[in-house]
Structure 1
Amino acid sequence: MAPHHPEDIRMTASESRPAARTPRRAVAAAARTRQPTEVRRRLIAEAAVPLIAERGYASVGVRDVAAAAGVSVGTVTYHFDSVQEVLSEAMVLHIEAYYAALSEAAKEASGSAEALRLLVDALFTEDTDRHWRMWFDYWNAGDQDPDQGFARGQAERYAAWHDQIRSLAGRGVDEGEFTCDDLDGFTARFAALADGLALQRLRQAPPLTTEDARRHLNRLIETELRLT
């Protein structure tokens, strides 16, 4: 979606005041190294990730991103059409890194049942509250943005998450570790329950501990994936 103004969109009152964080000192022209476009884009997007975590998706503007990345506003708008595009790419980087770590942990398991337990353990810790807050913020932003590319990106992230769950369960069935009559249904219910528990965990209405969240998910696994 094209920005409403050449320098920024979604400007807030707080952005009109000087930034609380001191911007990085400009690098002397002789010391600058010209980076490929894809590298510069990634660096800018990576700089936006902690901003989203600290302030929320809707409260981050292009000036915030530029200051965090140590570049000019013009550099950001040269590489991205809008601040939404920056934040969307930042969220993709965060989500892919998060689920890649989960996948690596599952690969070290001795079997699919252990891999699923490790996955559940990793989904709910005190540290993952930050991830879940960013995840829901990202989905809410998609509802407010008419850009179809943004929606497709979200759908791809969720499809990859479903594939990861189904792959673990399917591997266990193929190896004879457990049986399941409906792998697709199990995958949908696991993902939906994880999302619902995460939202309850963040809202604490009613209160939910990380241990109880894990227990509910493990109960689903035990019920639907019958150990052989």
Structure 2
Amino acid sequence: MARIRLSVSERREELLNAAVEQIEQRGVAAVRIADVASSLGVSSALVLYHFSSKEQLVAAAFTHAADADLAHLRKLLGRRTSALRRLRAAVRWYAPTGQAKGWRLWIDAWAASLRDPALREVARALDQQWKAALAEVIAEGAAAGEFPCEDPAAAAWRLTAFLDGLAVQMTSYAGSLTRAAMLQWTDEALARELGVDREALTAAGR
């Protein structure tokens, strides 16, 4: 059966989606151009036509996956409701037991970026966007008098560092902590950073 002819942008997206799947299955270090090509039934030459090296493909695939999560984060933070409610919804979604995809991909990328400068810069830029998005809404809530956070940027850094650390533990040692405990800790961390009672935070999220 003949393959449907795709536009350049459609083909790139198909290759990136396939690369993300293969990286999640095999890891950054083990995945090959041939694995991505084989999963789609195309030649390695076609993959290399769009991405000149494995490193370029991996960096583009990671950006593709992370951008999707970043877009959803911004959607949650852009809702027309209180900053407190938006932040709680975003943080609980972002937490390792939430619905955010790609934790394994992020963790693998962090490890690989120690030896891959291009991937390190991509991961750094995306990480900064996550922190900036959270800090913006924290600053908005503080300015509106919803909570007394004095340093939104520092709060965003500490909060994401806490969640990233939990993600590494939960991904590496699945089942070591219950979902209920994880979400309780997440609420407590957010309440602490915003300077509000956990009960007030929980009430705002209802």
TM-score under structure 2 length normalisation: 0.84
2:177 aligned partner, one-letter code: L
- In 2 relative to 1, CA 197–173 (structure 1 residues): closer, same or farther, beyond 3 Å? same
Return the offset for 1:107. 2.6
For residues 26 and 144 of structure 1, the distance between their equivalents in structure 2, rounded to whole angstroms, comes to 41
Tell me, yes or no, if the aligned pair for 1:201 and 1:210 is still in contact at 8 Å. no
Q: 2:141 aligns with which of 160, 172, 176?
A: 172
The 5-angstrom pairing of residues 1-228 of structure 1 reads 27=3, 33=5, 35-36=7-8, 38-108=9-79, 110-124=81-95, 126=97, 128=99, 131-145=102-116, 148-204=117-173, 207-227=176-196
Instruction: Output the aligned Cα RMSD.
Output: 2.4
**Alignment coverage as a number of residue pairs:** 197
Alignment gaps of 5+ in structure 2: 201-206
For residues 193 and 187 of structure 1, the distance between their equivalents in structure 2, rounded to whole angstroms, comes to 10
Return the offset for 1:106. 3.1
Tell me, yes or no, if the aligned pair for 2:104 and 2:171 is still in contact at 8 Å. yes
**3-state DSSP class of the match of 1:165?**
helix
Tell me, yes or no, if the aligned pair for 1:53 and 1:130 is still in contact at 8 Å. no
Identity %: 28
Tell me, yes or no, if the aligned pair for 2:83 and 2:138 is still in contact at 8 Å. yes
- In 2 relative to 1, CA 103–177 (structure 1 residues): closer, same or farther, beyond 3 Å? same
Larger Rg: 1
- In 2 relative to 1, CA 205–79 (structure 1 residues): closer, same or farther, beyond 3 Å? closer
Tell me, yes or no, if the aligned pair for 2:33 and 2:44 is still in contact at 8 Å. yes
- In 2 relative to 1, CA 69–220 (structure 1 residues): closer, same or farther, beyond 3 Å? same
Tell me, yes or no, if the aligned pair for 1:124 and 1:210 is still in contact at 8 Å. no
TM-score under structure 1 length normalisation: 0.77
Tell me, yes or no, if the aligned pair for 1:105 and 1:115 is still in contact at 8 Å. yes
Return the offset for 1:224. 2.6
Alignment gaps of 5+ in structure 1: 1-24
For residues 122 and 115 of structure 2, the distance between their equivalents in structure 1, rounded to whole angstroms, comes to 14
For residues 59 and 47 of structure 1, the distance between their equivalents in structure 2, rounded to whole angstroms, comes to 15
